[in-house]
């Protein structure tokens, strides 16, 4: 996914859209609303009957369910379900992420409402004349729509994690780090400046793991932070493979990772997504990493998640890890 905007910024972008239609509404009153339904990364698109055709559906899938970067096999950023307005019933109306594609009277428009049928819920209305009009509109605004839904899903997962969070993560706390980790993760390695947590996953006969790494590094050159080299140094020391002298490294030869600077809860951070492999072994998978710089103490922190689940889909687990890692903060700050 491209650079994440804050929900507030996205709201301003939507409200600034031209065209006819009602202005955007961001109601904070959720009293009397039933809880919303649907899993993370799911979107339900409801198309007016007279607009419903293969061309419209193709545009929606290309613009709102793109291929996700940083995975070993092709998976989409979202799970998009497309239905007609006739089929929009009670089963769908409480979904947390809704898009209405409606016939425009004149010019195209985009509006957003909050908590119309349930809470929390985002409902985006796209008013267009045809699939060409829809393409033009989404070429400009699809990233904003995806960011809105993405951030909302991250927040929902974080709230769920908080309700079942570990209460004793002494190894992480000893580094001065606060991280909201669900209690189904268990420690693998706990060192003075390094913690490895893991949960087992299973699908049929397929077994895998979802992993979290937290580490601390005293920096000597704040202007030249290299998250890739730092991660490789840490994993070479702590994350060994099944074969003798094997260890985890970042895949750079056939699939180079993508990094960008972000603000992570008030801290400067570099987000990196890509693939890992095991030097001297045949293991591999996707990872997501946040390398954070604390200018008050000249210290670098790393919070990292990686998945090992051969041949199985992994986008959901990377999304879960993102929601956990983005709870990073420092104790007392």
- Cβ burial, residue 307 (10 Å; 0-12/13-18/19+): buried
Which H or E run contains 95? none
Please tell me the least confidently modeled range out of 14-18, 150-154, 232-236, 243-247.
14-18
The model's pLDDT over 53-74, given as tens digits with 9 standing for 90+, comes to 999 999 999 999 999 999 999 9
300 sits in which H/E element: strand 299-308
Bridge partners of residue 314, in order along the sequence: none
Q: Which residues contact 163 (CB under 8 A, 6 or more apart)?
A: none
Q: How far apart are CA 28 and CA 93, in angstroms?
A: 19
Predicted confidence at residue 20, as pLDDT, reads 35
Q: Is the pLDDT of residue 149 over 60?
A: yes
* pLDDT for 102 beyond 80: yes
The pLDDT mean for the chain works out to 90
Q: How confident is the model at residue 221 (pLDDT cuts 50, 70, 90)?
A: low
- Phi/psi for 107 (5° steps) reads -90, 160
> Could you give the percent of the chain with pLDDT greater than 70?
89
Going by the DSSP 8-state scheme, the letter that residue 138 receives in this structure is H
Is pTM beyond 0.95 here?
Answer: no
Q: What is the pLDDT of residue 7?
A: 33
Domains of the chain: 7-162 (no CATH), 170-330 (3.40.1000.10)
The DSSP code for 139 is: H
Angle in degrees, CA 146, 37, 142, rounded to 5: 10
């Amino acid at each position: 996914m491209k650079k994440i905007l804050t929900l507030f910024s996205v709201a301003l972008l939507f409200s600034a859209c031209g065209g006819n239609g009602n202005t955007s509404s961001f109601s904070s009153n959720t009293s009397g609303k039933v809880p919303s339904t649907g899993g993370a990364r799911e979107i339900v698109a409801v198309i007016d009957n007279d607009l419903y055709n293969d061309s419209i559906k193709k545009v929606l899938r290309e613009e709102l369910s793109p291929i996700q970067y940083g995975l070993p096999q092709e998976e989409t950023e979202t799970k998009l379900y497309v239905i007609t307005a006739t089929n929009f019933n009670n089963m769908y109306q409480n979904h947390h992420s809704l898009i209405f594609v409606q016939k425009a009277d004149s010019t195209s428009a985009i509006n957003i409402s909050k908590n119309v049928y349930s809470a929390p819920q985002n409902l985006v209305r796209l008013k267009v004349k045809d699939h060409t009009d829809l393409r033009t509109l989404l070429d400009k605004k699809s990233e904003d729509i995806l960011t809105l839904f993405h951030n909302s899903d991250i927040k929902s997962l974080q709230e769920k994690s908080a309700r079942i969070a570990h209460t004793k993560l002494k190894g992480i706390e000893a580094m001065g780090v606060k991280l909201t980790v669900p209690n189904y993760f268990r420690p693998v390695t706990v060192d003075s400046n390094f913690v490895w947590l893991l949960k087992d996953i299973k699908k049929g006969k397929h077994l895998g793991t979802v992993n979290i790494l937290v580490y601390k590094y005293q920096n000597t050159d704040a202007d030249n932070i290299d998250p890739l080299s730092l991660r490789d140094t840490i994993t070479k020391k702590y994350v060994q493979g099944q074969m003798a002298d094997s260890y985890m490294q970042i895949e750079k030869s056939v699939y180079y990772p993508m990094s960008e600077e972000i603000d992570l809860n008030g801290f400067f951070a570099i987000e990196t997504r890509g693939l890992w492999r095991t030097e001297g072994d045949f293991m591999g998978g996707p990872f997501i990493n946040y390398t954070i710089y604390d200018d008050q103490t000249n210290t670098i922190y790393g919070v990292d998640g990686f998945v090992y689940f051969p041949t199985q889909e992994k986008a959901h687990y990377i999304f879960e890890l993102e929601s956990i890692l983005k709870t990073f903060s420092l104790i007392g700050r």
